[in-house]
Structure 1
Amino acid sequence: MNYIQTKCVVKRKGKETGESETLCFTKSKDNNNNNMCDRHCGKRYPLLSFWELPEFMKDNEYILRYYRANWPFKQALFSLFRWHNETLNVWTHLIGFLLFLGLTLANLMKPKVVNLLELFTRSFSSSAEKNVSHNIKDLFLGTTLLFDLNHQIPLTIELESTALVIARWPFFVFLGGSMFCLLSSSMCHLFCCHSRDLNLFLWRMDYVGIVVMIITSFFPQIYYVFLCEPHWQIIYLAGITAMGLFTIATMLSPTLSTSKYRTFRAMLFCSMGLFGIVPAIHACFVNWSNPRRNITLAYEIGMALSYLTGTFFYVTRIPERWKPGWFDLAGHSHQIFHALVVVGALAHYAATLQMLEWRDSFGCDTVP
């Protein structure tokens, strides 16, 4: 006869959490029997407070509640649809991944790069030679083409010089790097509660994803700006790739991936981004006559501000450090950081489209 001894103890209200919690203790001679306390004492995998976490999960002492720890893989997966302090971290980058996946598929299925953001910009900042009705017509056409992915009629591209086919691979390298970063981040925040080994592995992959996104962001801009000067392409792309590989090697270190080196990691990411100042200044001189120079620069400045502001929140842990416990579910620094990363990536996407359309119209006398 199977014997199960079950004891449920209600813990008194703690000063830290302010909530009563139920702890279940079960002794059983038969491991095949279900835990009776699971049925009578509430949820089997409750959300924990910061003080109940294993040491390897204690990263942000200003977020006090709603943690998951040592959850089975299946339970972690379905926590995608449950409120906890990682829910918005998962969804912000998961939605970003799906958005970039859609943009990638749309661009692959069209002979011309889809530029919905540019169409909106064109409708508000058109030159004097274009009237309002023409802009509305362009906007309607562009919007229709974006959502009609099964459209089979080739889109005619009118070039101001000769018919020139500019390579698209740097553009798709950027899109691929962005998707890898956003997806790896989502998976990290979703499954980091499973076990210590998986937690450490996923966090390293998250950092690697950030580095990959930074590296691939340089590819389209440097390739298209210096299309007529291939030696500068090689110099700048080799430089950022070397910095990225060094950063990846650093991120894979178990010690440097801990919360103790949070600021150091942020400095590495920022240094990679700041590397772009040199080719950016160079690009301004190379493309001084580019009619799309100002709007491209505006998008790139928007990208830089988004990334730097997000990094500021990531490092300072504002606003949760001001009011510990107030932003446990929504509004804490990592969620803000995630949202700004997606905004920055979209700004860079818009800038890349501007550069692509310019290069489609104005190539080199001798294409390398």
Structure 2
Amino acid sequence: MLNLIKLPHVLTINQVPKVFHEDGIISGYRPPYSSAKDCALSVFQPTNETLNIWTHFLPAWFFLWKLLMVALAMEEGERSLYSWPLLVYLASCCVYPLASSCAHTFSSMSVRARHVCFFFDYGAISLYSLGSAVVYSSYTFPQKWVNSTFHHWYVSIAVLNSFVCTALACCSRLGLPFLHYSADTIKGLPDYQVAKLTKPLRILAFALPYVYDNIPLFYRLFVCVGEGCTDNEANGVHHQHIALAFLTGFLFATRLPERLAPGSFDYIGNSHQLFHVFAITATVVQIKAIELDMVLRQTWLLAHSPPITFTNTVGVTLVSVAANLCVICIFSHALFSTTKNRDKDNKLSDIIKGYDSCSTRSAFCCHR
């Protein structure tokens, strides 16, 4: 069937604008300024984005199945509130891989589309970090810290982190909207500043909420001794999740293995694909650890923990969603096309379509 559909030829790094370049990836690029239809069809075509799409698209459906199973198994009455944090967390687990797969699918439509797609991707990751905070607050806090001042402010600070970190991640792409870029020019930060700031800002944006969310867990596993430390079967699974999370971060930060052998991992085995796989595996292990805490500690938590309400579960999540959408809208607004930009895009699109007909780099150069 796919042989009957004309799929665009993949390009090399020399045939696409710099904004589409990925470190260590030499070939397998989809044509920039592709149509939405071409982007959707490309998920069935070997490119350097194909596995990035599928390694998050399929797990999103698994997490949706888990969400539905928990929702259908909820008890009636007051005890049903006990499952709300898990539902919020599982919903965030559905959103972040789905947003990521969509971002990777449609990021080759245009320069602006690429930035906006990943703005939403960053917002979804921040929402997942909040979901983790909500569920940790309800089931995972060490017994010594339950009802402490930190416990009462923990989720509120996580909400603040969620949109601050989305703003940092968005800023890592082009800088500040209207200051470093506007609707009439997408220059972004100067190249030397981008090289220095992009990676640190993005790592900080992802690492900060993770470290904050896990403060009670780190204390429970590595610092707390004696009575009230919540030593149960879930601790071993939490250790596994932390190890996988650090490995995920290591892959994201180092760009290994393609950094050592550029061009050898363009289609299979590059760091971003491994980053996706280990992130999903870490989330699956995290779910298992949370469910163990939820079951093993239910009686004690219902008696001693702050009551679970709509406000501290669904309510804070809706606030975070609204705040993150505002951040994304601010950063995206500066990218909205004007007549000048549409003319530039149309001209560049025509040029790139000409590139697609070139079979060699020399043919590509004759168009420049």
By the TM > 0.5 criterion, same fold?
yes
Match of 1:66, SS state, is: strand
CA contact (8 A) 1:164 1:363 kept: no
Cα distance in 2 for residues equivalent to 1:167 and 1:278: 22
Moved more, 335-344 or 244-253: 244-253
Q: Trace 1:185-264 onto structure 2 (pairs within 5 A).
A: 185-225=100-140, 229=147, 231-253=149-171, 254-256=173-175, 260=195, 261-264=198-201
Partner of 2:38: 75
Partner of 1:52: 15
Shift of 1:215: 1.9
Question: For the structure 1 residues 252 and 281, does the alpha-carbon distance in structure 2 shift closer, same or farther, using more than 3 Å as the test?
Answer: closer
Shift of 1:272: 2.0
Cα distance in 1 for residues equivalent to 2:234 and 2:175: 36
Please tell me whether residue 326 in structure 1 is matched to residue 241 in structure 2: no
Please tell me whether residue 63 in structure 1 is matched to residue 25 in structure 2: yes
Give the TM-score of the pair, scaled to structure 1: 0.68
Counterpart amino acid of residue 98 in structure 1: W
Q: Trace 1:24-103 onto structure 2 (pairs within 5 A).
A: 45-60=8-23, 62-68=24-30, 69-103=32-66
Give the TM-score of the pair, scaled to structure 2: 0.68
Counterpart amino acid of residue 248 in structure 1: T
| Per-residue Cα deviation, 1:23-51 (whole angstroms, up to 9, x for no partner) | xxxxxxxxxxxxxxxxxxx9562100011
Q: Report which of the two has the higher share of helix.
A: 2
Please tell me whether residue 296 in structure 1 is matched to residue 211 in structure 2: no
Cα distance in 2 for residues equivalent to 1:331 and 1:78: 22
Cα distance in 2 for residues equivalent to 1:206 and 1:360: 34
Cα distance in 1 for residues equivalent to 2:263 and 2:218: 44
Partner of 1:37: none
Partner of 1:140: none
CA contact (8 A) 1:223 1:233 kept: no
Cα distance in 1 for residues equivalent to 2:14 and 2:66: 43
Shift of 1:271: 2.3
Question: For the structure 1 residues 358 and 290, does the alpha-carbon distance in structure 2 shift closer, same or farther, using more than 3 Å as the test?
Answer: farther
Cα distance in 1 for residues equivalent to 2:204 and 2:97: 20
Question: For the structure 1 residues 95 and 49, does the alpha-carbon distance in structure 2 shift closer, same or farther, using more than 3 Å as the test?
Answer: same
Cα distance in 1 for residues equivalent to 2:112 and 2:86: 35
Moved more, 295-304 or 347-356: 295-304
Please tell me whether residue 104 in structure 1 is matched to residue 67 in structure 2: yes
Match of 1:329, SS state, is: coil
Question: For the structure 1 residues 311 and 278, does the alpha-carbon distance in structure 2 shift closer, same or farther, using more than 3 Å as the test?
Answer: closer
Cα distance in 1 for residues equivalent to 2:304 and 2:267: 57
Shift of 1:105: 1.0
CA contact (8 A) 1:63 1:324 kept: yes
Moved more, 304-313 or 274-283: 274-283
Shift of 1:240: 2.1
CA contact (8 A) 2:57 2:97 kept: yes
Q: Which has the higher contact order (CA 8 A, sep 6+)?
A: 2
Cα distance in 1 for residues equivalent to 2:226 and 2:103: 40
Question: For the structure 1 residues 365 and 64, does the alpha-carbon distance in structure 2 shift closer, same or farther, using more than 3 Å as the test?
Answer: closer
Please tell me whether residue 170 in structure 1 is matched to residue 85 in structure 2: yes
Match of 1:59, SS state, is: coil
Partner of 1:353: 291
For structure 2, the 5+ residue unaligned runs are: 177-187, 189-193, 308-368
Measured on the aligned residues, the alpha-carbon RMSD in Å equals: 2.8
User: Percent of counterpart pairs with the same letter?
Assistant: 22
Counterpart amino acid of residue 118 in structure 2: W
Counterpart amino acid of residue 222 in structure 1: S
Q: Which has the larger Rg?
A: 1
Question: For the structure 1 residues 188 and 105, does the alpha-carbon distance in structure 2 shift closer, same or farther, using more than 3 Å as the test?
Answer: same
Question: For the structure 1 residues 72 and 350, does the alpha-carbon distance in structure 2 shift closer, same or farther, using more than 3 Å as the test?
Answer: same
Match of 1:362, SS state, is: helix
Aligned length: 276
